[in-house]
Amino acid sequence: REGTMLLPNQSSVDSLDRVETVMAHELAHQWFGNLVTAAWWEDILLKEGMASFMENVATDALRPTWGILDQMLLTVQGIMVTDALPSTHPVNQPVAKPSDIGQVFDTITYSKGMSVIRMMSHFLTEDTFRRGLVRYLDQYAYSSATQDDFWAVLTEVAKEDERLPPSITVKDVMDTWTRQSGYPVVTLTRSEDGLTATLTQERFLLSGNTTQDTQNRWWVPLSFTTANATNATTEPALWMKNSDTSIVVESLPVKAAWVLCNLQGTGYFRVNYDEENWAALSDQLLAEHQAIDVATRAQLLDDALSLARGGRLSYETALGLNAYLAAETEYLPWTSAMTALSYLEKMLTRTSSYGNLRRYLLTLLEPLYSNVGFEDDLNDPHLDQHKRSLAVAWSCKLAHKQCVTKAVQHFHSWLNNATEVSPNIKSTVYCTGVAEGGVEAWDGVWERYLETEVAREKLYLLQALGCSKEIWILSRYLDMAFTEGSGIRKQDIKLVFSSVARNDVGRSLAWNFLRSDWSRIVNYYDTFSSAASLLTSATAEFNTRIEKHELEAFVEQNAEALQTSSRAVKIALENTEVNVAWMDNYYQVIKGWLQEK
C-alpha cells in the first residue's frame, strides 16, 4: 500500500525505517522465493524468514548510521512475548489444505523466523553464513528447496570453517528451533566461590507453568563475558545439547565479579541468574553502565522484567535494574525497558495504584525527556530522533505537564494552518490535541483527514481520532468505521478500532461494540478472519475474571463463525488468562513496591 512505498519530503524515523526495510524485504524475495523457491508452504522460513532477516542486512548496508542491526533485537523481544504463550506454534507447520495457508503468514513465521536466522548467523559467524548462502543460491538457482536442503549446505560450509562441534549438523540445531514451539530460559547458578556455574534449560512460558512441557529442549549456543574479560564475542564458547539436563561451565571469576551469558541477545532464549549475580550486574549498571555493551544492556532489562512477569525472578530485583536508567542515553535500552514496563502500565491502568506507577515512570523518564527536549530536529542523528519520539510519546501519555502543554500548543498552531508538526512527534501532538480538545478539535482533524492526499498522514490522523476522551465521539467514530461511504477505507478499520480500544476511555466501548454489532461487522467485512482480528485489540488489556467470563461467553456464542480464526481466538483467551493470573499473583507485590518507593 502507498503508506509503505511513498515517503513525504519530511518523514519520521519510524516511517523511514519501515519504508526502507519493506522495500529491501520485497527485493530480497528476488533471491529468497524467486531464484530459489520454497518447495512447500511448510518451508516458508526459506522465503519469509530469510527476507525478514535480509531486509535488515540490506538496509544497514545502505544506512549504516541508523542502527538497524541493533534494532533487530527489539523485534526479537517483541516476538518472544507471543512465543511464550501456550497457543504459539512452530515456525515449520504442516499445510494440508488451502485454508491452512493463510494462517502460515503470521508473526511467528516472519519475526521468529528472522530471530532464529539471526542467531544462526552469529553461531556460524557472518563470514561462514554468507559463504553458505552463496553456495545455497548457486546450487538451487531456478529450482526449489526444502528447509533440510538449506541446512545441508550450511553444514558443509560450517564443517569446512570448523564452526560446529564435529558430531553435529545445522539441522540438529535448527530443527529444535523451527520444529517445536516456544523457546527456553537458561538458568545460570554459580558455585559458592563463583569459579564454576551450572546451567539448566526449560521452556519459558509467561504463565510460569512449564509442567506440560518437560520434553521440549533445544540446542543452545552459549556466549559469555565476565566483569574482567577484555573480549566479548557472540560466537558460542560452548553448546548445551537438547539431551542435556544441565552442564557445568568452568574458569569463571570470583563470586563478586559478574558473569553474563547470551551477549547482545543474539540467542533466541532468556537467561536467569542467581540473586548474587543479578545484584553484581545491577551494581555494575549503576557504577558504569558502559562496561556492558548497548545491546546486552537492552537484553538484560527485557529479560529481567519478562522473567519477573513469568514468576522466575522477584519484581524487586527486576525493577531494581531500572535504577541506572537516569544515566542511560542510548535508544535501545530505553525502548526495551519501556516496552517491558508498558505491561505494568496496561495492567494497572484501572487500579488504585496507577497514580503511583505513573509517578514512578515519570521519575524514570524525566532525565531522558530533559536531555532530548520536546522540539524535534530532523538533522539530529537517526537514533537520537527515535529517542526523542519515545520520550515525548511516553511523557505525554503519562500526563507530564510541560509535554502536554507543548503538544497542545503545537496542535493548535497546526490546526489553525500556521505550522506543520515535525514528523517524529506528530502522532503524539495529534493524539494529545484530540484528547485535550473537544468536538471542535475532533472535527478539525477529521476535515484534515478528508483533505490530505498523503497516505501516511491519513494514518496518523485516523489514529489520533481514536484519542478523544468523550465517549459519544468515540461511539460515533466506531459507527463511521463500519458505514459505507463514510470516508474510512475497509483496510483501515483495524487501525480505527484499535485506536479506540487502546484508549482507556474507549476500551469498554470497543468491546461492547464488537459484541453488540458482531453480525454487522462480519457482513461489512465479508470475512470472519478480518472481523476476528479486532478481537485481539479489544481484549488486549483484559485482566479481570468478569472480562474473562464475557470473552468466553462471546466465543461460545459465535463458535461456528470463529472457526477460521481459531488462532486469534486462542491468543485472546490465553492472554486474558495469563493477565488474570498475573493480577492474582503480582498486583499486591507491585502495589507494595510502589508505595514503598
Return the active site residues: 26
CA neighbor of 303 nearest in space, from 329, 331, 277, 326:
277
Backbone phi and psi for residue 469, each to the nearest 5 degrees, phi listed first = -100, 5
Give the 3-state secondary structure of residue 407: helix
**Which residues make beta-bridge pairs with 261?**
224
- In one-letter notation, the amino acid at residue 484 is E
Helix and strand numbers, DSSP H then E, in the chain: 26, 10
Residue with cell 563463583: 194
Within 10 A of 557 (CB to CB), how many other CB atoms are there?
12
Helix axes 382-397, 426-436, angle to 10 degrees: 10
Backbone phi and psi for residue 181, each to the nearest 5 degrees, phi listed first = -80, 155
Yes or no: say if 176 and 158 are a contact pair by the CB < 8 Å rule.
Answer: no
Yes or no: say if 496 and 462 are a contact pair by the CB < 8 Å rule.
Answer: yes
Yes or no: say if 481 and 471 are a contact pair by the CB < 8 Å rule.
Answer: no
CA distance 238 to 249: 9
Q: What is the residue-wise DSSP string for 568-592?
A: HHHHHHHHHHHHHHHHHHHHHHHHH
Yes or no: say if 105 and 41 are a contact pair by the CB < 8 Å rule.
Answer: no
